[in-house]
């Protein structure tokens, strides 16, 4: 049993002599115990209880999980949510069409009646955080299977048991989730209320919200107004509810006031949000996997897909709108993978890890704890056994499954079985389910002709990388029937499959046939790819178990090795705080970057022939007239983006950047190119969080959009 769960920095693992105050994705329940002094030294004016208190209202109550993988914050007493433009992007796209292209033109609701209901969008508030380590460890021991600690179904059952069936029944909009920390050495249970009536309030055009697009993505200097606005609605009693026209704007426990005072170098800054995944406890062999498998697959396969998509999107506005979110999501981590691999090499991360592993072994043997050194060796053995299987599976998943959309046509096994049984009730039931599954596949954001072109390119790429023996069995069918002509096979898929378009599907459903389904080319491809990925996953199962259990012991050893030193767990999309300061940096010899950019930089980058750097006429008018109102600096400059030394990663997008007084000064939206390996190692001299200065957000709302109704409900601190 671990006696202390404090806070280890990633650099402490790599180089024990170095400790960096700004590093760390801090667990809120430990702030008061571990971080009060360091936060005060950085410039925090609040008490730690003002940030997180289990019993009183605190800053935590203004922070939400936005959608599936972002952060947002409440900025008014009427439930107004601020998040990134790229976090709202798929929802903005959901409302967009060629006739109402909100991606291109932006959208603003000038009254609450104009706000757009957004089906499927949810936000989650964290109500309580409870340490349930002892309960989980007892239950795992009783189950007699240590892997239960990592079993989602087991943890879900435990969350219901610990919360109580009666509580679950009486609170249908409350989710109770248990997550492991420190490699399964610690467990916390999170109570979160889910709000399902969320409406779109405002978004700038992409020429502001995505200014710089892929060219500027992950880069500094930056000039992007990456924000969007939504509103949470409740029932008349103020409780979470499904959408209803009778619902009212939420009355939140807390909302963030907005500072118009600006920032100076060295000012305290903190983010509170939901960082997704970091791998700072990974050993050298795991970094090799990340570099040569995960990142390699993203770079190789997504690069091919993105090239095809970009050409098709530029040629057709309908396709551009349909695939905008898919392209942005894929491109984001394609570039991230390139940057991360660059950072791994530049920083000699693997050599540093090997050195740390030697120190760890030496410590384990010197302190008569050989089990920890053995755990490290067991991890290495498992990882080396996993490598070839994992490589093949990752490339196949990226290339043949994720990229080729028709690999997700609905499974027909149940329908075939029902048809062959001649049981009318079963047939009717499966037909209904089959139609619903097809409607989800062939949705408004799917274009068969785009999928046809992408599939042709992806299959050629995959064939060039893997031998016949390593491919799914559908490739043997293509070799035999089509003499290896994959383009002809794909064309036949789209010309003949019952899934190819709605007309073919509806005609087939008039008289469904088991024989037709068994011979359908799209289904043949999908079933083959699914089966191969499933087989590869099964082949990794034993090795993954060995790796997981060994890593739990390895991290336990790390914690003992650093006992008495603050230790933070890897990110796992739970609410965390990162503390830092507004700081410039020097990315290379003779190169220095300031900590802010101004509107002057937008027009230095402006290029009317390049959609990435187009500037709206209205924004240019504001700039020419210097019509910045109260949002400008005293010297007249209009700040656009700022950087700080906060420690964030994916999932933190949309996190508030908060000053020492608990006021909103910015909106985090990106990291910098030079520190793309930050998920593996924190780089104190390089790692920066890029945020939109909150005053630029307000400028766009007031001066560009003229949405004074929004401005009027915000609390400003001047």
Known catalytic residues are 86, 226, 653
User: CA 710 to CA 667: how far, in whole Å?
Assistant: 17
The closest of 688, 591, 672 to 340, measured between CA atoms, is 672
User: CA 65 to CA 48: how far, in whole Å?
Assistant: 22
Instruction: Compute, in degrees rounded to 10, the torsion defined by CA atoms 5, 11, 16, 18.
Output: -110
Question: Residue written as tokens 């709108």?
Answer: 321
Are 23 and 10 in contact, with CB atoms under 8 Å apart? yes
Are 656 and 271 in contact, with CB atoms under 8 Å apart? yes
Q: 3-class SS at 76?
A: coil
Q: 3-class SS at 116?
A: strand
Sequence-distant (≥ 6) Cβ neighbours of residue 632 within 8 angstroms: 626, 638, 695
Q: 3-class SS at 177?
A: strand
DSSP secondary structure string for all residues of 446-480: --HHHHHHHHHHHHHHHHHHS-GGGS-THHHHHHH
Q: Is 75 exposed, middle or buried (0-12, 13-18, 19+ CB in 10 A)?
A: buried
User: CA 444 to CA 449: how far, in whole Å?
Assistant: 13
φ and ψ at residue 5, rounded to 5 degrees: -120, 85
Q: What angle do CA 583, 646, 287 make, to 5 degrees?
A: 120
User: CA 435 to CA 437: how far, in whole Å?
Assistant: 5
Are 317 and 98 in contact, with CB atoms under 8 Å apart? yes
User: CA 76 to CA 60: how far, in whole Å?
Assistant: 15
Long-range Cβ pairs for the range 496-499 (8 Å, 24+): 496/521, 497/406, 497/409, 497/521, 497/522, 497/523, 498/522, 499/406, 499/409, 499/410, 499/438, 499/441, 499/442, 499/523
DSSP secondary structure string for all residues of 592-628: EE-SEEEHHHHHHH--TTSGGG---HHHHHHHHHT--
């Amino acid at each position: 049993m671990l006696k202390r769960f404090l806070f280890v920095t990633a650099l402490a693992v790599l180089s024990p002599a170095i400790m960096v105050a700004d590093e760390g994705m801090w667990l809120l329940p430990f702030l008061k115990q571990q971080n009060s002094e360091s936060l005060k030294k950085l410039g925090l004016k609040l008490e730690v209880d003002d940030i997180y208190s289990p019993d009183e209202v605190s800053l935590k109550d203004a922070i939400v999980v936005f959608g599936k993988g972002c952060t947002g914050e409440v900025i008014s007493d009427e439930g107004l949510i601020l998040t990134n433009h790229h976090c709202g992007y798929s929802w903005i796209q959901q409302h967009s069409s060629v006739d109402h292209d909100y991606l291109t033109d932006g959208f603003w609701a000038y009254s609450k009646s104009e706000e757009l209901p957004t089906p499927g969008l949810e936000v989650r508030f964290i109500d309580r955080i409870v340490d349930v380590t002892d309960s989980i460890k007892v239950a795992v021991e009783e189950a007699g299977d240590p892997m239960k600690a990592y079993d989602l179904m087991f943890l879900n059952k435990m969350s219901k048991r610990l919360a109580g069936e009666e509580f679950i029944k009486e609170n249908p909009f409350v989710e109770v989730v248990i997550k492991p920390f420190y490699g399964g050495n610690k467990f916390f249970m999170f109570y979160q209320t889910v709000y399902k009536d969320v409406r779109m309030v405002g978004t700038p055009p992409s020429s502001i919200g995505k200014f710089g697009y892929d060219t500027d993505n992950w880069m500094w200097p930056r000039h992007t107004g990456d924000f969007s606005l939504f509103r949470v609605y409740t029932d008349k009693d103020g409780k979470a509810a499904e959408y209803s026209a009778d619902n009212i704007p939420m009355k939140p426990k807390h909302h963030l006031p907005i500072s118009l005072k600006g920032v100076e170098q060295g000012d305290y800054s903190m983010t509170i949000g939901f960082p997704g995944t970091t791998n700072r406890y990974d050993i050298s062999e795991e970094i090799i996997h990340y570099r040569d498998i995960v990142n390699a697959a993203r770079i190789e396969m997504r690069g091919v897909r993105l090239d095809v998509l970009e050409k098709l999107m530029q040629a057709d506005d309908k396709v551009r709108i349909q695939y905008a979110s898919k392209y942005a999501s894929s491109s984001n981590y394609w570039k991230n993978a390139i940057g991360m691999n660059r950072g791994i090499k530049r920083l000699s991360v693997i050599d540093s890890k090997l050195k740390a592993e030697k120190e760890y072994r030496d410590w384990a043997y010197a302190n008569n704890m050989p089990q920890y050194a053995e755990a490290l060796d067991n991890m290495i053995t498992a990882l080396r056994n996993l490598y070839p299987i994992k490589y093949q599976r990752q490339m196949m998943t990226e290339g043949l499954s994720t990229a080729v959309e028709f690999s997700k046509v609905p499974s027909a096994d149940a329908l075939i079985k029902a048809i062959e049984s001649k049981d009318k009730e079963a047939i009717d039931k499966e037909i209904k389910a089959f139609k619903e599954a097809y409607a989800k596949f062939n949705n408004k954001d799917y274009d068969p002709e785009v999928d046809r072109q992408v599939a042709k390119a992806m299959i050629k790429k995959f064939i060039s990388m893997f031998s016949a023996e390593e491919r799914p069995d559908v490739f043997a069918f293509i070799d035999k029937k089509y003499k290896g002509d994959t383009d002809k096979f794909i064309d036949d898929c789209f010309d003949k499959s019952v899934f190819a378009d709605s007309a073919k599907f509806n005609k087939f459903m008039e008289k469904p046939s088991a024989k037709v389904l068994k011979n359908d080319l799209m289904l043949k491809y999908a079933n083959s790819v699914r089966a191969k990925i499933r087989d590869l996953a099964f082949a990794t199962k034993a090795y993954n178990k060995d790796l997981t259990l060994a890593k739990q012991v390895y991290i336990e050893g790390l914690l003992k090795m650093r006992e008495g030193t603050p230790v933070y767990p890897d990110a796992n999309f739970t609410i965390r705080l990162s503390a830092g300061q507004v700081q410039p940096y020097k990315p290379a010899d003779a190169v220095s970057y300031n900590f802010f950019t101004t509107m002057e930089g937008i027009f230095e980058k402006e290029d009317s022939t390049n959609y990435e750097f187009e500037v709206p006429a209205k924004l240019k008018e504001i700039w020419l007239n210097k019509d910045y109102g109260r949002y400008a600096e005293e010297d007249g400059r209009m700040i656009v983006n700022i950087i700080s030394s906060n420690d964030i990663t994916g999932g933190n997008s949309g996190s508030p950047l908060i000053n020492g007084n608990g006021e909103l000064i910015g909106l985090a939206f990106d990291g910098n190119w030079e520190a793309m390996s930050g998920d593996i190692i924190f780089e104190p001299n390089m790692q920066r969080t890029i945020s939109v200065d909150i005053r630029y957000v307000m400028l766009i709302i007031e001066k560009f959009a003229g949405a004074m109704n929004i401005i009027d409900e915000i609390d400003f601190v001047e």
